[in-house]
Amino acid sequence: MAWLVALPLGLAIVYLAARYGRFRNWIEPVLSIAVALGLSIAFLVWLNESAPDEVPAPVPAEPAQGLTAADIMLQDMAFEPSQTRRSYRVRGTAANASDTTLEYFRLTVTLEDCPQGACRRIGDDTALILLRLQAGQSRPFETFLTFPYRPDEAPIAPKWSYRVSEVRGAARQ
């Protein structure tokens, strides 16, 4: 709305400055000061609007104490090749041996190729298993893992080793 006033006023100033040299001598410093004040006010408004309100940020809930990777038992682990050559479907059962509810855990798996007993490490992959598991319960899970190897280096005699690398429990309420 202010541009409706500023546009004709600006055109009048440009006309008078072009027509009369005396007008130009005193309007240049006035306009320079006006533009500087306008930019300063705009900066202060922007600074005031972008400043956060004085509302304290919520405190994140403390992670559940007492739940460790050793409290999660993995059973009946099965590794099957998936449709893509480097991907494997992993199935198993997780059991929660702690007194705290499990929210999720990270499963880290290492793949080695061990033909005739000589093992060659192929790689590691970690999967996030979202599994809400009450204390003392067990439940099956399934995930997919991918290992980097060239097609001509596909494992002949795969050997799997796995571990729970991170756990997160629900805070008591």
Domain borders along the chain are 2-50, 69-169
* CA distances from residue 118 to 24, 151, 154, 157, 162 in whole angstroms, order as listed: 91, 20, 15, 10, 19
DSSP, collapsed to helix, strand or coil, labels residue 95 as strand
Write down the CATH superfamily of domain 69-169: Lipoprotein YajI-like (2.60.40.1620)
CA angle 57, 62, 68 (to 5 degrees): 150
* Helix, strand, coil % over all residues of the chain, rounded to 5: 35, 40, 30
Instruction: Lay out the sheet containing 87-96: strands in order across.
Output: 72-81, 87-96, 138-146
pTM above 0.75, yes or no: no
* Per-residue confidence in pLDDT tens, the chain, 173 aa: 677 777 787 788 878 888 888 887 888 888 788 888 888 998 888 887 776 665 565 655 555 467 888 999 999 999 998 877 778 899 999 999 988 899 999 999 998 888 888 888 888 899 999 989 898 899 999 999 988 877 777 788 888 999 998 999 876 54
